[in-house]
Amino acid sequence: MCEPPGPIAAERRATPREFGLIAARSKREAESLATEIAQWLKARGCGVVPEKALVRKQGRAVDAIVVLGGDGLMMRAANSYPDVPLLGINFGKVGFLALVERREWRKALEALVGGDFSIQSGSTLEATLIRDNREIKSDWAINDVVIRGGVRMIEVELYIDQHYVNTYPGDGMIVATAHGSTAYGMAAGGPILTAGVRGFALVPISCHSPIRTPLVAPEEALIELLLANDRPASLILDGRPVGELSRGDLVSVRRGVHTFQLVTLSGTNFYEAFRTKFNFQIRPDAVPTRRPSRNPGPTDPPEREKDG
């Protein structure tokens, strides 16, 4: 229930009483379920703040936010309302952050309003672009900070706590949080930072060298990435391009002041989520977007190039 907890619950995490509600606008099922969830919460004496009101109040009026969507919407909510606990109900494909499947929403909310939950607090990244010894811009990321080249190979110098580590020729470099290590960093061959690991993964992207081993730096470290050649590159935070880089530009990365607060329920854990969610990507019923063309037989004549 959403009434103030009694003496027995005093040692437990404070029971949320005010809930924000965010639903994926592109999915009717999510908006429909959001209406049902709002009614369910109000019937139990809980306050419900819709997204429009959340924007005006910047999330300050709620104890937790229920997000109906995929991992992308979870990221947007976390970026818009930092340090507020988020419970994700999955309407996406993977659902590694949106842990609750939609058929389980009642069970999850009963646990949440009853105080039977935990908060998994993850560090974020603060990235500062420095050019000619002047700070150009600063922003923060939940998953990763990326320097990414275009069609030409770039060279990135890596420094940790002002110590030169190496120069990486290739497509760029990823600095990922523990939560972000299962995103772009994993796709680029980086390590998975399991639950409880306090570090940042440093992952070269398509490094043109046999020495391409990813590293893990402690969260207290100062990580600096310097663009060392004249090829164009971009600074990307959580998939958002935030600036173009020139030769000599330095990107300074530290632990951010904000945290990513993820609501977890009893019976769920990192390893189960990792095993089940990513196995779901190998779907036997998947339909390819592009149909393969018919392979020419051994007696078929080769195709001629069209004139003009």
Least Cα distance to 142 among 78, 236, 68, 202 occurs for 78
Cα–Cα distance, 157 to 16 (Å, whole number): 46
Point out the catalytic residue in the list 71, 139, 144, 238: 71
C-alpha distance across the termini of the chain, in Å: 74
Backbone angles phi, psi at 257, to 5 degrees: -80, -25
Are 113 and 16 a contacting pair, CB within 8 Å? Answer: yes
Are 49 and 61 a contacting pair, CB within 8 Å? Answer: yes
b/e 164-183 (16+ beta carbons within 10 angstroms → b): eeeebbbbbbbbbbbbbbbb
Six-digit token string for 203: 């992952």
Neighbours of 161 (CB within 10 A): 12
Paired strand residues for 50: 21
Three-state DSSP class for 137? strand
Least Cα distance to 114 among 6, 249, 248, 269 occurs for 6
Query: Does the annotation mark 71 as catalytic?
Result: yes
Are 180 and 193 a contacting pair, CB within 8 Å? Answer: no
Backbone angles phi, psi at 140, to 5 degrees: -135, 160
Q: What long-range pairs does 31-38 form, CB within 8 A, spacing at least 24?
A: 31/68, 33/68, 33/89, 33/102, 33/105, 34/68, 37/66, 37/68, 37/105, 37/109
Six-digit token string for 180: 């972000």
Q: Which residues are catalytic?
A: 71
